[in-house]
Structure 1
Amino acid sequence: MGIPFQLQTQQGIQQGRALLSENNIMIKKESSPSEPAGGQPVRNTSTSSKPTMPAAAKVNAMVGNRTWFGGLFNGSGKRRQVNTDKTFEMTPLQEQRMQKLKERLNIPYDETRPDHLESLKKLWKVSFPDTELTSLVSEQWKDMGWQGPNPMTDFRGCGFVSLENLLFFARRYPAAFQRLLLKTQGIRATWEYPFAVAGVNVSYMLIQLLELNSARPKSLPGINFVKMLSEHEEAFDILYCIAFEMMDAQWLAMRASYMQFNDVLEATKAQLERELSLEDLHRIQDLPAYNLLLK
């Protein structure tokens, strides 16, 4: 599983080609995209003009699980830090809910656990209610935007919570979920982002943005999220749905194609960070982008 990363200079491209060649990683060019497969671009049969891309974005690479995660979100801008020792203390309820959320984040996807397999079956059922899944390892999963016939390989980057997020989205906001899954809104690119793989990336983005791997948040987005969590125990899952909607809206606004997914996700992260830094945020419904779920 992987986010395309960009090689910014000609020298970097040459060095990158050598490195990728050593590791048997396929390089894809925008001028001749390869046939889509799972996490690779999804072909959209609707007619749309391709956006002009900067020269630096012409060559991207699809890399493996560990490489895909982390690189996009490091050094992506300074956050407004606050002195949490003096200005922010969690209430017992906030501590309890944050601990429960962090425990969820530490659960890897385990294909030997019946409850994990059942959740995967449910995700297929709510996504394609009229199509029977022939097997838990099946080429059918590529229709949802997984990279291969076994989604487990894509869950490794973020764990079981990324499956929980997708399943929550499908159940709580089925119309919005189907609209994004089937790419039914807006003028779409010829080569679309893979839905499921993008969803795992959104989960990872939120974990990083909200500093959920830290003992306590030090930035306004993280602190405001804790406040929301005390008002709504499902704040993380709802925020995931909002972030996925924001990502798709950015995709359409930027008239993006597959190899610009990096830029779209970075723009989504920046917009979400701004909204989570607003004053007087207490409820998840206070976020301006919350209205995206109500379309």
Structure 2
Amino acid sequence: MDDQDRQAQPRVGVVGLGAMGLGMARSLRAAGFHVGVHDLRPDVASAFAEEGGTAFTSAGELAASVDVLVGVVVNAAQVESVMFGDGNGGGGGGNDKGGAAGRLRPGSVYVMCSTADPAWSADLERRLAEFGVLYLDAPISGGAARAASGQLTMMTSGAPAAYAIADPVLEAMSGTVYRLGDEAGTGSKVKVVNQLLAGVHIAAAAEAMALGIKAGVPAEALYEVITHSAGNSWMFENRMAHVLAGDYTPLSAVDIFVKDLGLVLDAARPEKFPLPLAATAHQMFLQASASGLGGEDDSAVIKIFPGIELPGQDAGVELPGQEEV
């Protein structure tokens, strides 16, 4: 495949097949790309290969075979491991043979979709340039369902040369690609603002639902009214449906918002910018995590409120799907 063919149909790989990454990989395959994948869970990568992709045993091996590498791992530490460590997102430092940065072909593109510190993301562009690798700061929003349907929102920034190669890949994964500037870091700044709103909205939704339940309003009726009233939000409608179902299977876990709202507060601190609502929401998610709920769906933050059954507390308000003690 020559350079012109690669620009029209770049070879693409996805590292991280969680709720978002798996949907993104499937969207790419549905758009006609041959997709290579790597995940710490070999069975997940193998299952995707059975659908028509190719599984690789390390991110480094995958990187050596692609023009665009899309990283959909949890945080900056896992990006560091994938790109400069053991190549698998499992820790380690340096740049051994498994790391992806040294295996990517010069002129290829790394698309970073994690929620991360904007300053770290901007510096990652510089570090990858030392390997001749282009970089797009490209955090995502929209949830697992939109990832699976290729309708994500992507908040991107980076050099025009990186877009020239990666644009077909971005378009296949998303409904909207926002190009926010020529320098990495701006996409992550916008994602930080988005996560401030998302975290505060989930916390407020949980507080409102808990108050209504405590006051004796049937949860289903409360949900029906609020979702058709001015007080509704996307997060109330989406997350409180999990509460009604009593299903706290993590699509986005409590600990994700411990991390993300921590990033929000960290980003504001150098500016001495007050974030009272974000700080309160962060404390709510921290309380939920400290209560043993960190691995549950982020809607489980509702369980911190007085009268709602938690380990070590007396039973009070019964949430839908919970048994009365």
TM-score normalised to structure 1 length: 0.26
Q: Identify which of structures 1 and 2 has the higher relative contact order when contacts are C-alpha pairs closer than 8 Å and 6+ apart.
A: 1
Greater fraction strand: 2
Which of 1 and 2 has greater Rg?
2
Superposition TM-score, scaled by structure 2 size: 0.25
